[in-house]
């Protein structure tokens, strides 16, 4: 029970990494608040948590809007009285290069993937500061540290997220710890939306030393580590969960 009696906000918790993290946090004793624009998926996550004797609620949230982020945080305080853990995890990933990126695509990607993290921190940090403790876990990506083709707005957002992690860590230590997770190729429902074929998935798997794609549960374990006291001497850091993808130069 690494998170016994802790209260955690998780955005993007309706599916994939967010859902797996929400379930794992609840298993370890956390009360979980899911913020997501996907009402059906968000309620499914909460139902899974509550079915297994956990304690979760869903707050429909468009994380690109300050007013809705503020409501998410205030609802958490109203229901549970505190915020111990903030896991900023929502993102979208349009596969476009710079010239294919429209202003709308850019704004949506950066607002959901980067600006939302700042807005969540902006609204949560005053409560964490008042209670004298808090942990922020931010989902970045291997795109935060490496270049990949046809990902211009997503790469910009994820690069910014890693810089924001360090900035928040510097500003709010020692009261609040802030760290990032950088997942590699993780098989989530987003893959279907992106139209990734089995052949493309296999090619992705073969690019990393472990020769397989990751699962959401494996990223959730890293989130649990960063959210708990197991990482008590870490802040401003990133944990890479990518099967070794970014550690090698591909030679064949």
Q: Which active-site residues does the annotation give? A: 154
Strand (E) positions, the chain? Answer: 7-11, 31-36, 55-60, 85-88, 134-139, 176-183, 238-241
Cα dihedral sign, 9-15-21-26: positive
DSSP three-state, residue 60:
strand
What is the CB-side half-sphere exposure of residue 55 using CA atoms within 13 A? 13
The whole-angstrom separation of Cα 68 and Cα 136 is 19
Report which of 133, 119, 146 is spatially closest to residue 6, judged by C-alpha positions.
Answer: 133
């Amino acid at each position: 029970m690494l998170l016994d009696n802790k209260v955690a906000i998780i955005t993007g918790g309706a599916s994939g990494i967010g859902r797996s993290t929400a379930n794992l946090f609840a298993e370890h004793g956390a009360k979980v608040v899911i913020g997501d624009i996907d009402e059906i998926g968000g309620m499914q996550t909460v139902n899974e948590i509550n079915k297994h004797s956990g304690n979760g609620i869903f707050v429909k949230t468009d994380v690109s809007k300050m007013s809705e982020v503020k409501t998410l945080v205030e609802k958490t305080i109203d229901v549970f009285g505190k915020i111990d853990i903030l896991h900023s995890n929502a993102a979208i990933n349009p596969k476009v290069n710079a010239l294919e990126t429209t202003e709308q695509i850019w704004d949506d990607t950066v607002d959901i993937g980067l600006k939302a993290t700042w807005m969540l921190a902006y609204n949560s940090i005053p409560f964490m500061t008042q209670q004298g403790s808090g942990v922020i876990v931010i989902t970045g990506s291997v795109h935060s540290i490496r270049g990949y083709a046809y990902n211009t707005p997503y790469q910009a957002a994820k690069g910014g997220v890693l810089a924001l992690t360090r900035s928040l860590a510097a500003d709010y230590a020692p009261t609040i710890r802030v760290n990032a997770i950088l997942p590699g190729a993780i098989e989530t429902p987003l893959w279907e939306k992106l139209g990734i074929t089995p052949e493309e998935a296999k090619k992705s798997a073969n690019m990393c030393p472990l020769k397989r794609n990751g699962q959401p549960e494996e990223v959730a374990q890293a989130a649990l580590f960063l959210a708990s006291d197991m990482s008590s001497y870490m802040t401003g850091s990133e944990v890479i969960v990518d099967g070794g993808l970014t550690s090698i130069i591909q030679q064949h």
